Amino acid sequence: MKRINLRENKGVTLSTLVIAILLMTIITSIIIYNTIAGANTRALNNMYNDITILKDRIDVYYSKYGTIPVLEGEYTNTKNIQNINSNDNDKYYVIDLEALENLTLTHGDGYTRYKQVQSSYITDIYVINEQSHNIYYVRGVVLDGNTYYTLPGDYTKVNLPEWSDTYTVTKKNNYTDTEGNSATIPAGFQVSLKEGENKVSTGLVVRNAQDLNEFVWIPVENMGYKYDRYAFLSGQPSDGIDEATNSLKIKQTADSAIYFTEAISSDETESIEKYGGYYIGRYETGIEGYTAFSETSDGTTNWTGYTGGNLSIQKGKQVWNYITRDKAKEVAEGLYTDAENGVISKLCSSYAWDTALKFIQTNYSTYPTNSSQGNYLDTEFTYTDLDGNSQTKANGEAVLVPTGQTTAVNNIYDMGGNVYEFTTEINNNTPKIYTVRGGYYNDTYTIATPAWRAIASSADAGAETSFRVALFIGDNIYGNPDALAIKAKPGNYVKYDTGIDGIGDNQDGILTFRVLYNDSTYGLQIISDKNVEDVTLGTDGNDLNAWQASMNDYNNAIATLNQKAERYAESSPYAIDGRCVGSVPTVGIDGKFNAKNTENVGPFNDFQFTPSSTIEGVNDMKDTDTNYETDQTAMQAIGGDMWTTGEWYWLASRIVASYLQNCYFNIRLVDSVGDLRNYSLCDIDYNANTNGYSFTYGLRPVILLKPGVEVASGDGSETSPFILEE
C-alpha cells in the first residue's frame, strides 16, 4: 500500500484535512437535524390534521346530541395544557374515539390502553375541555425546542351554541343524553345545549326552530307510571268509572258531590306508544304583538280580550289571559298540525297535565301538593317585568308576572301558581262544567296546588286564567307537507340537479332519477334511471404488470365506484352524499352513508390450489361480499325497469371464484336483461400464470337527499316527475 507523506504531498495539507473533517461533521449534523426536523414537522402536521378531523366530527356529534363524546372520569394529567386556552375550565376528558364513526388518526394510540386502565399517566391520547371544547394531544409534538399540544391561534372568547341543529327527520329515540336516556325530537325542532336543559331526567328542553316556542319532553315509556289521570290530593278519592267517558271519576274533595272525568284521546295514546312520550309547554301560553286589549267579555264562549297578536311559549311574555276555554282550545289546536308540522298541538288534557306532574315528582316529590316554587300570595321572589325592569314580588302581594319568572321544576314553569290553566277535562257541575288547574297569584301554594281541580263555566275569561299547550308527535316525520319525503314512493321519478354543467339532455346538469328508498332506516335515496357515465376497471395483459394493475383495481373497486358516484352529490343543492348502486345503503348518525365502502377485507385464502408465493399481492386479495343484496331486493321489489334498464352497469360488490386450477377475482354487474354477472379483473392459476382484464361498464349513482327537499311541481310519474326545490 502506498504511504502518503502529508508534509510533502501538495494535494492535501493537515490543516486542510482537519477543515474538511470539520465541514463533513457540520454537514452530517445538518443532514441529521433536517431529517429529524422533517420528521417532527410531519408529526406536528399530523397532529394538526388529527385535531381538525376530531373537531369536525365532535361538532357534528355535539349538534346532534347536545354533549361531547368522552369517556367517563376526568383526565387529570393536564399541567402542560391547562393554561393554553383562557376559555378552558378545569375539566378535561379523554375523547371517546369509538363514538365517532370512520375515524383514522395518526396519533392517539394510547386510547385503547387508557380505556383498559383509566390512567392519567397515559399521554398518547386526545382530550377535550368541557367548556371550550378545545382539543389537545397530551403528549405533544416537539419541534425546534418547543412542544405543541393543540392547533395554533389567538384565542378569543368562545360562544358555544345554545341550541342544536334543527332535526330534519323524526325518529323514535333520536336523541340520547349523557346519562343514556332517550327522547324523540320532532322534525323542525332543536334541543337545548345548555347544562341542566339537555338531560331527560331533569327536563329536556326543545324549541320549534321557526317560532322559537319551547317545550319539555315528558317521558312515559319505562318510567314506572303510565299516561293517565291521577288524584294526588289526600281526601280526593275516585268514585268509580264514568260510563260516558270510560274514565275515573276523580272527586274534588272527599265530601264533594263534584267529580271530574275525561275520555282519553286515541291520537295522544297512539303517539305516546309510538314515540315513548310527549311534550308540554315549558311556560304558560303567552301573547305578543297584539294591537288592542279589553277586559270586558262579549259573553260568548269563544272570546279573548286580545286583538291580533301571536301565541308565544317563551320566557318573559304577557300571559294570554282573558280567554275562554273554547277559545283557548281553538288557539292551542291551531298552533301546529301533523300535516304542516309533524306534531299535533292541543289544549292540555287532564292526562297530559297529571302525567307531567308524575314526571316532576321524580325530582320534586311533593310538588303536586306543595308548589312553593310558583307565584302565589305567600311566596316572595324577584322577577323582570314586561318593560325589562327588575321587581320584587313581596309575600302577601298578589301580582301577575310574565311567563318564566319563578322557579322551574324539571324546567317547567308555573304549573303551580301565577294563573289557573284551562284543560280539556270536564266535571258534573252544570253550568261550570270546565276544569282549571294549577292555582293562581292570589291564593296560597298549599291550597291552590298543581293537583287541585277547580271549576269554570264556558264564558269564564278573567285575569287569573290562561292555558298551556301539549304536543304529540304525528305521522309526518319530516314536518313539512311539501317535503319530497312525504310525497315520494319507491319507483317515483325525480328530476335531479347534479350541479354539474354539461351533462343531461339539455346540458344543464339535470338528470332523471328514481326513488329507491324512503324510510326511517335508509332515509330518502334516489338512483339514476340510466347509466350516467362509463367506468373502466382493470388492465388487459398476461404479465405481472397487468396482474398488479388489475389487482389494485379489484381491491379498490368499491371505493373507486363510490368516489365516481360522489361526484353527482358534491355540487348538488339537494344532496347529502352519494354512492354506487350495490354498496351498503345504511345511514349514520351524521346523516351520511356510514358503510358504503364496507368490504370483506379478507385476505382471500380459500384457494383450491396453493398459489405461488412469487406472485406479489396474491395473499392480499379482498374476499367476497354480499353488499349488493339490499339494493337488488329493493329494486326488484319496485319492478319494471328499476333493476333491468337495458344497459350493463357495475355493482359495488366483489365475488371470488376459486377452482382446482384457477382462481378469479370478480366485480359484480348487471347485464342488459337484468341478469347478475361477475367479471374477472384478474386471475391466477396453479402454474403461477397471471392475467389482468379490462372492462368498461356504466355507473348508476345513488344519492342520499336532504330530508327537507321540497317538491315544486310534478306527481312523480314518468311523464310528470317531481321537480325539486330547497
The gap between the terminal CA atoms of the chain, to the nearest Å, is: 88
In this model, does residue 155 exceed pLDDT 60? no
CA–CA distance, 70 with 58 (Å, rounded to integer): 10
| Nearest residue to 605 (alpha-carbon basis) of 617, 620, 615 | 620
Rounded distance, CA 298 to CA 473, Å? 36
Instruction: Check pLDDT > 60 for residue 237.
Output: yes
| Under 8 Å between Cβ of 4 and 11 | no
Per-residue pLDDT band at 11 (split at 50, 70, 90): very low
Nearest alpha carbon to residue 463 among 593, 711, 296, 337:
296
Residues of the chain with CATH 3.90.1580: 175-473
175-473: CATH topology is paralog of FGE (formylglycine-generating enzyme) (3.90.1580)
Mean pLDDT of the chain: 90
The three cell numbers locating residue 397? 302581594
Would you give the DSSP letter of residue 367?
Answer: G
Higher local confidence (pLDDT), 603 or 35: 603
Residue with the three cell numbers 433536517: 34
Q: In what order do the strands lie in the sheet with 701-705?
A: 575-580, 701-705, 523-528, 510-519, 493-497, 722-725, 710-713
Q: In terms of C-beta distances under 8 Å and separation of at least 24 residues, what long-range contacts does 667-673 make, across chains too? A: 667/537, 667/554, 667/557, 667/695, 668/582, 668/628, 669/697, 670/643, 670/644, 672/644, 672/645, 672/646, 672/647, 672/648, 673/644
- What percentage of the chain has pLDDT greater than the value 90? 71
Q: Which residues pair with 347 in a beta bridge?
A: 469
> pLDDT tens digits, residue range 316-341?
999 999 999 999 999 999 999 998 89
- 3-class secondary structure per residue, 11-65: CCCHHHHHHHHHHHHHHHHHHHHHHHHHHHHHHHHHHHHHHHHHHHHHHHHHHHH
Which pLDDT does position 181 carry in this prediction? 95
pLDDT value of residue 159: 57
Three-state DSSP class for residue 198: coil
CA distance 527 to 145: 55
Q: Across the strands, what pairs with 324?
A: none
Mean per-residue pLDDT, 530-550: 95
- pLDDT band at residue 617, thresholds of 50, 70 and 90? confident
Place of cell 322534525: 187
Give, in degrees to the nearest 5, the angle at Cα 26 between 24 and 29. Answer: 105
Peptide bond into 603 cis (omega under 30): yes
User: Mean pLDDT, to the nearest integer, of 538-542?
Assistant: 96
- Average pLDDT for residues 62-72, to the nearest whole number? 82
Q: Is the pLDDT of residue 27 over 60?
A: no
The pLDDT, as a whole number, for residue 38 is 56
What average pLDDT does this structure show over 689-717? 94
In this predicted structure, the answer to whether residue 7 has a pLDDT above a threshold of 90 is: no
Q: Which amino acid is at 651?
A: L
Of 88-102, 338-352, 410-424, give the lowest mean pLDDT range: 88-102
Mean pLDDT of 475-499: 89
pLDDT reading at 178 higher than 70: yes
Give the pLDDT confidence of 32-45 residue by residue, as tens digits. Answer: 333 344 567 788 88
C-alpha cell of residue 424? 280539556
